[in-house]
């Protein structure tokens, strides 16, 4: 004989609650994963920025050997580097990197006036390393910003915004450079 299985109201409530709990867990884990990807992407940027900061003193010293009377330029680069290294937030890093890029442009403009400097093997090597680092920073910034976009979209989208609000997830800042810095990268070729 065929026995029909009838769902009782209690069973329906249990199933609905199980689905809701499963959805909350999956949403929370998705947000945690995105937040960790943003942190990892920032770490990639941080590594490249530190590499850039390490190259700058060598570059300044090399140029100083040829252009001793350009004290203001060297001081501006040093101040900009210190400000960039001391930045704490993503927005502060963006502003400091814009300032540093401008200071480096001034340094390279000064170096153009010294043909012996341009011919220096050490200077050429530092230029190549800085150019490579700038490209890596740009790639790391794109990766970071794409992860921030994914996280921010999830935090703002319904219904995951309910979970984000309950568990204190906050939007991350994009790592933005001003439009001028984006269009005109540091020139390192002579």
Question: Got the DSSP string for 56-117?
Answer: HHHHHHHHHHH-TT-HHHHHHHHHHHHHHHH--SHHHHHHHHHHHHHHHHHHHHHHTT-HHH
Q: Residue 95 pLDDT more than 50?
A: yes
Q: Are 114 and 67 in contact (CB under 8 A)?
A: yes
Q: How far is CA 70 from CA 60, 63, 65, in A?
A: 11, 9, 11
- Token readout for 177 is 């450079």
Look at residue 55 in the predicted model and tell me its pLDDT: 93
What pLDDT digit, counting tens, does each position of 132-168 carry? 999 999 999 999 999 999 999 999 999 999 999 999 9
Higher pLDDT, 125 or 115: 125
Q: How does residue 182 score in pLDDT terms, banded at 50, 70 and 90?
A: very low
Q: What is the pLDDT of residue 181?
A: 44
Consecutive H or E run containing 122: helix 121-156
CA diameter of the chain: 103
| Distance between CA atoms of residues 65 and 117, nearest Å | 9
Q: Residue 190: what pLDDT?
A: 38
**9 or 5, which is more confident:** 9
Residue 52, classified by CB atoms within 10 Å of its CB into exposed (0-12), middle (13-18) or buried (19+), is: buried
By percentage, how much of the chain surpasses pLDDT 90? 65
Instruction: Check whether 183 has a pLDDT greater than 50.
Output: no
Q: What is the DSSP letter of 158?
A: T
Tens-place pLDDT, residues 31-79: 999 999 999 999 999 999 999 999 999 888 888 888 777 788 889 999 9
């Amino acid at each position: 004989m065929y026995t029909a299985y009838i769902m009782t109201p209690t069973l329906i409530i249990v199933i609905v609650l199980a689905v809701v709990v499963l959805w909350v867990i999956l949403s929370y884990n998705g947000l945690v994963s995105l937040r960790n990807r943003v942190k990892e992407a920032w770490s990639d940027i941080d590594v490249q920025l530190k590499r850039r900061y390490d190259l700058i003193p060598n570059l300044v010293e090399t140029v100083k050997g040829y252009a001793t009377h350009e004290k203001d330029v060297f001081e501006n680069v040093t101040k900009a580097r210190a400000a960039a290294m001391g930045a704490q937030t993503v927005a502060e890093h963006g502003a400091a990197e814009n300032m540093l890029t401008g200071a480096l442009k001034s340094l390279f403009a000064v170096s153009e006036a010294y043909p012996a400097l341009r011919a220096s093997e050490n200077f050429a090597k530092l230029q190549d390393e800085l150019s490579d680092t700038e490209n890596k920073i740009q790639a790391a910034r794109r990766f970071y910003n794409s992860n921030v976009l994914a996280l921010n979209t999830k935090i703002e989208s319904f219904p995951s915004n309910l979970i984000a609000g309950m568990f204190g997830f906050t939007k991350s800042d994009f790592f933005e450079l001003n439009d001028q810095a984006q269009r005109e990268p540091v020139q390192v070729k002579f």
